[in-house]
Structure 1
């Protein structure tokens, strides 16, 4: 009897022990589930972090607006079977570039073949390549282009080589103020297979009207590529500037002078260090009549707005643009990369 009494007396205690054990098991199961979920979250976060470290950051050169596919054009115009050329960098179109043109950038790249520059390479991005190739696509039978501020003949060579491969008769025209750079242009065009009758080079300053301007001298060509002309100096000021040895006095080459000998210009490339809006505004008549496509390198957001106003009001059709890339310096926008605009003349190239 005492044993039974003691057992009966322990039943509530045993139930409490069982209840406590069950509660602890449930808490353990919850903790196990929470740990599994936490481990999964850690693994997922680690995978995302590794992926983000391996993926290159989104380039600002992908931030363009367009009505056609520029990357498809770049792939379609890429030259097949390119082989290295000793002493030259060969780009994706097959254009050979002497590293001495940009010694700080290209001197260790002689003998290389460059891939398709998506989104950009050392001198141009998808937007500029796309607009240039778009003009070739719209040309018929022949391709005549003008490059204002041609430097080493960059877009004369690139568009000329691509148009030639497309089976078009080619004529390229360039204007440049730097004596050494226009020598580079002459040399590069010869290296890339252009005959003398296919090339017109003018040493001077591209402008809406004829006249005289000052252009800075540099001791070594290929060091500075953003030199800006000085317009509106008096005869006395020009004489003093030339006497100093820091400037050359050069003719201002009007757009009409360049265009008039030709029935049509398939591409006008403008990169004149901030004078693009004034040039466009001063040449609308001849632009309407003879220029089928314009590629403009823009040097400020203000200039971009001026170009929008001028060309849209004149009936031009914007096909591609990438805004100038700016930073902020002392509370003002500071240009770091030129913008790009591509304009189609609907009078010469109506939409189908």
Structure 2
């Protein structure tokens, strides 16, 4: 398997391990408390770690699309992450942007509904030196309606990153969180969004379709994790193609897909699009 050329524009970092974190190739560190299965991968404190490029798994396309958006940017780079968890992709985007001399500033809006995950989001940005003016780490859910919404209680936050507003209808305990519409997210930026990462566990089909005009005016590139069914995935794809977006990636959920990097098994689907109106 060969890595995507986008990685040649970013220098791998060498870091000194703190004993409780794992590190990506940019040097962004993630506390292993956030992901139970990762504890075994934390290098001993004080050990020099030469960060390696990402593994060829279902998250590899996220890396490529994120870094491509950074590579295209100049001036202020803007990234939104909906269903942020601890801010995996917005933190990677912000860290990558800070290595590019043509980027003078970074704006981030990361939205996460689960209170524990949101606390970790705040900690993750702080420990990586990414909290600054223009960085908005919002506790709440993206929704069709502004106000409040019921969100499932997550019993094991270091294992479960798959909660959705849709699950509340299936019963079980829930909390009430603030809900925001997509316009609320877009309005926090000072200009067009370079990259929007959406992973909201099926709620994408409630949020995205009614906001196609807003996205076309405001977002340069987008990646959507798709859920539920192939029919839903294809329906979402059709909406973007009909509006003139340029398809960058299309990998159906629950499938072994041929990619430029070899065969990759996908759980969630991946749709990536570029907006020719904005670049």
TM-score in terms of structure 2 length? 0.85
1:209 aligns with 2:145: yes
Structure 2 counterpart of 1:176, from 91, 107, 112: 112
Q: CA separation in 2, counterparts of 1:312 and 1:138? A: 22
CA displacement at 1:326 relative to structure 2: 4.2
Structure 2 counterpart of 1:162, from 88, 96, 99: 96
> For residues 85-107 of structure 1, what are the alpha-carbon distances to aligned partners after superposition, in whole Å with 9 as ceiling and x for unaligned?
4321111121101000001x111
Q: CA 1:113–1:106 in 2, change beyond 3 Å: closer, same or farther?
A: farther
CA displacement at 1:78 relative to structure 2: 4.1
1:274 aligns with 2:208: no
CA displacement at 1:296 relative to structure 2: 0.9
Matches within 5 A, 1:1-352: 71-103=4-36, 105-111=37-43, 114-120=51-57, 124-167=58-101, 168=103, 169-230=105-166, 246-262=173-189, 263-299=191-227, 300-326=229-255, 337-349=267-279
Aligned partners of 1:213 and 1:231 also within 8 Å = no
Aligned partners of 2:20 and 2:39 also within 8 Å = no
Q: CA 1:76–1:82 in 2, change beyond 3 Å: closer, same or farther?
A: farther
TM-score in terms of structure 1 length? 0.68
Q: CA 1:70–1:290 in 2, change beyond 3 Å: closer, same or farther?
A: farther
Aligned partners of 1:90 and 1:113 also within 8 Å = no
CA displacement at 1:302 relative to structure 2: 1.8
CA displacement at 1:114 relative to structure 2: 4.5
Give secondary structure in 2 for the equivalent of 1:226: coil
Q: CA 1:230–1:280 in 2, change beyond 3 Å: closer, same or farther?
A: closer
Number of matched pairs: 262
CA displacement at 1:261 relative to structure 2: 3.3
Q: CA 1:78–1:278 in 2, change beyond 3 Å: closer, same or farther?
A: farther
Q: CA separation in 2, counterparts of 1:82 and 1:267? A: 27
Residue in 2 aligned with 1:330?
Answer: none
CA displacement at 1:218 relative to structure 2: 2.4
Aligned partners of 1:180 and 1:221 also within 8 Å = yes
Aligned partners of 1:145 and 1:266 also within 8 Å = yes
> Unmatched 5+ residue regions in structure 1?
1-61, 63-68, 234-240, 328-334
Q: Of Structure 1 and Structure 2, which has the larger fraction of its residues in helix?
A: 1
Q: CA separation in 2, counterparts of 1:231 and 1:218? A: 11
Give secondary structure in 1 for the equivalent of 2:95: helix
Residue in 1 aligned with 2:259?
Answer: none
Q: Of Structure 1 and Structure 2, which has the larger fraction of its residues in strand?
A: 2
CA displacement at 1:336 relative to structure 2: 6.3
> For residues 163-187 of structure 1, what are the alpha-carbon distances to aligned partners after superposition, in whole Å with 9 as ceiling and x for unaligned?
1111321121111110000000000
